[in-house]
Chains A and B, each alone.
Chain A
């Protein structure tokens, strides 16, 4: 997952990307290019403890918005963009999680749409591969449980030769 998120973080203007659970626990985080973990400002998102509370608040906000739109029987939003004076935040639903991207000022969320969708598609693919690898392999001899094996001899076709002596219906052409 880190390998999927890191290309997103390398895009200029991206401050931080994270894959977070729906209740806000960070699963994987990747900081934008040129940012170090050490920063003078303790309020800065680049500090791990600040990052944890940031992701929790972001997920909390998404939950509140989902509840608010529920009044109109809308399903939960799949992508939410919040633009503020100090930066921009994009939250996009991924399989069983949420991708969070924080942008610097001057970068628009639209520029991140295609890369984010690409990253989420890759996540889907990785999860599909994992689930396929976990499924037990079935052999051709043993059918999957619940399926009854039927006769394996091929049915007679129109081209099969028929012996008239052994066939009582061969002469019954309407004389009987």
Chain B
């Protein structure tokens, strides 16, 4: 950045800050944050966004910008750690790197680093991180093979880290989530041996004991998770409501756009359709539901992981579906779908940014 750009950038930031002082609206917070983005000051961006979110909680734009700033900060720390590891590889750096990568959802990268760490150090901590990465993959993709490997690695890590409860905690989590209650009981009993009298663990032990009558062997439980795509405590789709966006106004604003034929939001058995009416609306909702079900099954069978987006193009135009935690949002347009539409659909569906 040249001196002149830096100078004008500072002037614009001061101007935006002055406007924010006069009117602390979400738009003015955004304007100031954007000026900091242009200046490349990610720490300031995060600070302004967090302040803005305290005044305007749930503002989608501010949340998005704060997330991006946070990711940028973590990315720069990742680069720094990689550089340090090249000079002097040591467990604390490997550990921090794996933690950051897991935190930002880059599980495969984290696993690669954990494997490199294991090759260099051969310690229990690296095995634990390998197990954790695999377990995260299992929780995300629901492949039996991942669960099996995570379980075995956690067992090895437990042997290397005597007295450490983390590998056993991981085993407990794997067993509990897929309904292998006997294995979960054994794991929590060992946790209680390490932390005797812990009220939280005792409460969990009682819950596990109560479920032991409907236990499945671990292998069978893992296979069942792969087949159904569901864990024991998975809430039915759509039980969580969109936190940042209210569905109907967002659908209405999408439906009012030029070239948009229909905007659909699907949550569990309920569908909201903006655009078509009557039987056509029913058929549109049914179409989206069928595509969602078929795509989920196909992704699982093809080991593609969790579906994030589907785009269909043809004589009918373009139909774009986004899968998220809150449900599925879809848009049927005559022409190309704009980036702003996709962002709104992601907010509606509750997509975890960074994964998509």
A residues contacting B by CB (< 8 A) are 43, 54, 57-58, 60-61, 64-65, 68-69, 71-72, 74-87, 89, 105, 109
Contacts and interface: CB of A to CB of B under 8 A. Distances in A.
A31 B301 CA distance: 21
B286 A69 contact: no
B287 A72 contact: yes
B306 interface: yes
Given A82-B304, A82-B307, A86-B305, A69 B312 contact: yes
Nearest to A102: B304
Interface string B254-267: 00000000000000
A87 B310 contact: no
B295 interface: yes
A75 B315 contact: yes
Given A83-B356, A85-B141, A85-B305, A69 B316 contact: yes
Interface string B262-292: 0000000000000000001001101100110
Interface string B309-320: 111111110010
B207 interface: no
A56 to B, nearest CB: 10
Contact of A74 (B298, B307, B314): B314
Interface of B: 108, 140-141, 145, 280, 283-284, 286-287, 290-291, 294-295, 298-299, 301-316, 319, 355-356
A155 B82 CA distance: 89
Main SS at interface, chain A: mixed
B214 to A, nearest CB: 30
Nearest to A54: B302
A51 to B, nearest CB: 11
Contacts of A75: 314-316
A92 to B, nearest CB: 9
A61 B287 contact: no
Contacts of A43: 145, 303
B304 A84 contact: yes
B314 A64 contact: no
A78 B313 CA distance: 6
A99 to B, nearest CB: 14
A83 B302 CA distance: 12
A124 to B, nearest CB: 18
Contacts of B313: 77-80
